[in-house]
Copies of this chain bind each other. A is one copy, B any other.
Amino acid sequence: MAAVEAPEDRIFAALASPVRREVLRLLREEGPQPVQRLAGHFDMARPSFSEHLKVLREAGLVSERKVGRQRLYRLEAVPLNEVQEWLSPFERFWREKLTGLRDLLDSMDEERHER
């Protein structure tokens, strides 16, 4: 039985694959493009790639528009806002750590100059 999953779950699951993250990056950097051009970056049979697109579609992270016999995929970044929102309460935890690390490195630097 396929559990009813929150939209958030589908987004995080979609991002779990390096292939799918790369597709999103390509759409961001190069704008909307047909499947053909996206697929060129991956060493994979076309139907396999199609499946990845489906996962992204169902997570709402891309949309598709037919143009002639091509399908133009484009980034739908809005759902990524949910990831951002999940992440942000953690932010102060790593900022404190990173700051602490910088302080540590700074103090080690000082020691080198002290002798």
Interface size class of A (residues with CB under 8 A): 35 or more
The interface residues of chain B lying within 8 Å CB-to-CB of A43 are none
The interface residues of chain B lying within 8 Å CB-to-CB of A93 are 28, 75, 77, 80
Look across to chain B and name the residue whose beta carbon is closest to the beta carbon of A31: B109
A46-89 CB mask vs B (1 if < 8 Å, else 0) is 00000000000000000001011010101101111101101101
Cross-chain contact B6 with A106 (CB below 8 angstroms): no
Question: Chain A residues in contact with chain B, CB under 8 A?
Answer: 5-6, 8-9, 12-13, 15-16, 18, 21, 24-25, 28, 31-34, 37, 65, 67-68, 70, 72, 74-75, 77-81, 83-84, 86-87, 89-91, 93-94, 97-98, 105-106, 109-110, 112-114
